[in-house]
Amino acid sequence: MNAPLTDHVVLVDEHNREIGTADKLTVHHAETPLHRGFSVFLFDSSGNLLLQQRSFGKKTWPGVWSNSCCGHIRLGESAVQAMRRRIHEELGIAGAEVAVLLPDYRYRYARDGVVENEFCPVAVGIINEPPRPNPDEVAAVRWTPWEAFLAELEGDSGFSEWSIEEARLLAADATFQAFLARLRRP
Protein backbone atom coordinates (compact mmCIF):
# COMPACT_ATOMS: atom_id res chain seq x y z
CA MET A 1 0.00 0.00 0.00
CA ASN A 2 2.97 2.36 0.36
CA ALA A 3 3.81 4.72 -2.50
CA PRO A 4 7.01 4.04 -4.44
CA LEU A 5 10.11 5.67 -2.97
CA THR A 6 11.04 7.24 -6.30
CA ASP A 7 7.70 8.86 -7.10
CA HIS A 8 7.65 11.83 -9.46
CA VAL A 9 5.50 14.79 -10.46
CA VAL A 10 4.72 16.03 -13.95
CA LEU A 11 6.01 19.55 -14.48
CA VAL A 12 3.84 21.82 -16.65
CA ASP A 13 3.81 25.32 -18.08
CA GLU A 14 1.13 27.95 -17.44
CA HIS A 15 -1.07 26.27 -20.08
CA ASN A 16 -0.81 22.85 -18.33
CA ARG A 17 1.43 21.46 -21.08
CA GLU A 18 3.96 18.84 -19.94
CA ILE A 19 7.54 20.10 -19.82
CA GLY A 20 9.20 17.33 -17.80
CA THR A 21 9.18 15.41 -14.55
CA ALA A 22 10.87 15.82 -11.17
CA ASP A 23 11.30 13.70 -8.07
CA LYS A 24 8.36 14.36 -5.74
CA LEU A 25 10.50 14.47 -2.61
CA THR A 26 12.91 17.08 -3.97
CA VAL A 27 10.55 19.26 -6.02
CA HIS A 28 8.63 20.74 -3.05
CA HIS A 29 10.52 23.69 -1.59
CA ALA A 30 10.31 27.50 -1.47
CA GLU A 31 10.30 27.72 -5.30
CA THR A 32 8.24 24.63 -6.19
CA PRO A 33 7.70 24.53 -9.96
CA LEU A 34 4.20 24.28 -11.39
CA HIS A 35 3.08 20.64 -11.62
CA ARG A 36 -0.01 18.42 -11.82
CA GLY A 37 -1.93 17.34 -8.75
CA PHE A 38 -5.52 16.54 -7.80
CA SER A 39 -7.97 16.72 -4.90
CA VAL A 40 -10.87 14.41 -4.04
CA PHE A 41 -13.81 14.91 -1.70
CA LEU A 42 -15.27 11.52 -0.73
CA PHE A 43 -18.74 11.09 0.73
CA ASP A 44 -20.67 8.24 2.28
CA SER A 45 -24.15 7.35 1.05
CA SER A 46 -25.69 9.75 3.62
CA GLY A 47 -23.77 12.75 2.33
CA ASN A 48 -21.10 12.91 5.06
CA LEU A 49 -17.65 14.07 3.95
CA LEU A 50 -14.49 12.13 4.79
CA LEU A 51 -11.72 14.43 6.05
CA GLN A 52 -8.12 13.45 6.65
CA GLN A 53 -5.34 14.80 8.80
CA ARG A 54 -2.13 14.59 6.81
CA SER A 55 0.64 12.49 8.33
CA PHE A 56 3.02 14.39 10.60
CA GLY A 57 5.85 12.88 8.51
CA LYS A 58 4.80 14.61 5.28
CA LYS A 59 7.07 17.29 3.81
CA THR A 60 4.10 19.42 2.74
CA TRP A 61 1.48 20.50 5.27
CA PRO A 62 2.31 17.88 7.93
CA GLY A 63 -0.47 17.32 10.48
CA VAL A 64 -2.87 19.66 8.68
CA TRP A 65 -6.50 18.63 8.13
CA SER A 66 -7.60 18.53 4.50
CA ASN A 67 -10.12 17.04 2.11
CA SER A 68 -10.36 13.26 1.67
CA CYS A 69 -7.39 12.66 -0.63
CA CYS A 70 -4.79 14.67 -2.55
CA GLY A 71 -1.91 13.62 -4.71
CA HIS A 72 0.01 13.97 -7.94
CA ILE A 73 -0.69 12.70 -11.42
CA ARG A 74 2.10 10.58 -12.89
CA LEU A 75 3.33 10.79 -16.46
CA GLY A 76 0.90 8.92 -18.75
CA GLU A 77 -1.76 8.70 -16.04
CA SER A 78 -5.18 10.35 -16.24
CA ALA A 79 -6.45 12.43 -13.33
CA VAL A 80 -9.08 9.78 -12.50
CA GLN A 81 -6.49 6.98 -12.60
CA ALA A 82 -4.27 8.98 -10.23
CA MET A 83 -7.18 9.65 -7.90
CA ARG A 84 -8.13 5.97 -7.68
CA ARG A 85 -4.49 4.99 -7.12
CA ARG A 86 -4.01 7.50 -4.30
CA ILE A 87 -7.35 6.71 -2.64
CA HIS A 88 -6.12 3.12 -2.42
CA GLU A 89 -2.61 4.09 -1.26
CA GLU A 90 -3.77 6.61 1.36
CA LEU A 91 -7.12 5.24 2.50
CA GLY A 92 -7.04 1.54 1.60
CA ILE A 93 -10.14 1.84 -0.60
CA ALA A 94 -9.98 0.06 -3.95
CA GLY A 95 -12.09 0.90 -6.98
CA ALA A 96 -13.51 4.22 -5.80
CA GLU A 97 -15.69 5.90 -8.41
CA VAL A 98 -14.93 9.60 -8.79
CA ALA A 99 -16.17 12.37 -11.04
CA VAL A 100 -14.13 15.50 -11.80
CA LEU A 101 -16.24 18.61 -11.22
CA LEU A 102 -13.59 21.34 -11.27
CA PRO A 103 -11.19 20.31 -14.06
CA ASP A 104 -9.25 23.58 -14.32
CA TYR A 105 -8.60 24.52 -10.69
CA ARG A 106 -5.11 25.94 -10.11
CA TYR A 107 -3.52 27.13 -6.90
CA ARG A 108 -0.29 28.22 -5.24
CA TYR A 109 0.07 28.26 -1.45
CA ALA A 110 3.05 28.47 0.88
CA ARG A 111 3.43 27.18 4.43
CA ASP A 112 6.51 26.77 6.60
CA GLY A 113 8.85 27.58 3.70
CA VAL A 114 7.32 24.99 1.35
CA VAL A 115 5.18 25.86 -1.67
CA GLU A 116 2.49 23.80 -3.38
CA ASN A 117 1.99 25.03 -6.95
CA GLU A 118 -0.44 22.92 -8.95
CA PHE A 119 -2.95 22.49 -11.69
CA CYS A 120 -5.35 20.46 -9.57
CA PRO A 121 -8.58 18.94 -10.90
CA VAL A 122 -11.11 18.51 -8.08
CA ALA A 123 -13.38 15.47 -7.94
CA VAL A 124 -16.10 14.02 -5.76
CA GLY A 125 -16.91 10.39 -5.11
CA ILE A 126 -18.96 8.03 -2.99
CA ILE A 127 -17.43 5.26 -0.90
CA ASN A 128 -19.31 2.45 0.79
CA GLU A 129 -16.51 0.94 2.85
CA PRO A 130 -14.63 2.25 5.86
CA PRO A 131 -11.26 3.84 5.20
CA ARG A 132 -8.14 1.98 6.33
CA PRO A 133 -5.65 4.86 6.48
CA ASN A 134 -2.00 4.29 5.64
CA PRO A 135 -0.16 5.81 8.66
CA ASP A 136 2.69 6.96 6.39
CA GLU A 137 0.17 9.20 4.62
CA VAL A 138 -2.71 9.87 7.04
CA ALA A 139 -2.59 10.66 10.78
CA ALA A 140 -6.37 10.53 11.31
CA VAL A 141 -9.72 10.57 9.51
CA ARG A 142 -13.19 11.72 10.45
CA TRP A 143 -16.63 12.02 8.88
CA THR A 144 -18.64 15.24 8.99
CA PRO A 145 -21.79 16.60 7.33
CA TRP A 146 -20.99 18.92 4.40
CA GLU A 147 -22.68 21.94 6.02
CA ALA A 148 -20.72 21.40 9.26
CA PHE A 149 -17.50 21.29 7.24
CA LEU A 150 -18.36 24.57 5.51
CA ALA A 151 -19.08 26.14 8.91
CA GLU A 152 -15.69 24.94 10.20
CA LEU A 153 -13.98 26.74 7.32
CA GLU A 154 -15.10 30.13 8.62
CA GLY A 155 -12.34 31.82 10.59
CA ASP A 156 -9.05 30.09 11.39
CA SER A 157 -10.08 26.52 10.59
CA GLY A 158 -6.65 24.90 10.42
CA PHE A 159 -7.51 23.18 7.13
CA SER A 160 -5.24 23.20 4.08
CA GLU A 161 -5.70 26.35 2.05
CA TRP A 162 -6.52 24.42 -1.10
CA SER A 163 -9.27 22.40 0.61
CA ILE A 164 -10.89 25.63 1.84
CA GLU A 165 -10.87 27.22 -1.61
CA GLU A 166 -11.98 24.00 -3.34
CA ALA A 167 -14.87 23.53 -0.86
CA ARG A 168 -16.12 27.03 -1.53
CA LEU A 169 -15.92 26.49 -5.29
CA LEU A 170 -17.80 23.18 -4.96
CA ALA A 171 -20.46 24.78 -2.74
CA ALA A 172 -21.17 27.27 -5.53
CA ASP A 173 -21.24 24.59 -8.26
CA ALA A 174 -24.67 23.45 -9.53
CA THR A 175 -23.40 19.98 -10.49
CA PHE A 176 -22.05 19.49 -6.97
CA GLN A 177 -25.35 20.64 -5.45
CA ALA A 178 -27.16 18.05 -7.59
CA PHE A 179 -24.65 15.38 -6.47
CA LEU A 180 -25.37 16.17 -2.80
CA ALA A 181 -29.13 16.20 -3.39
CA ARG A 182 -28.97 12.70 -4.95
CA LEU A 183 -27.10 11.42 -1.88
CA ARG A 184 -29.72 12.79 0.48
CA ARG A 185 -32.76 11.31 -1.24
CA PRO A 186 -34.54 8.76 0.99
Q: Across the chain, where does the E strand assignment appear? A: 8-12, 18-23, 35-43, 48-54, 65-66, 69-72, 97-102, 106-111, 114-119, 122-126, 138-145
Cα distances (angstroms) measured from residue 55 to each of 59, 107, 145, 185: 9, 22, 23, 35
Active site residues: 70, 118
Report how far Cα 96 is from the mean position of its chain's Cα atoms: 14
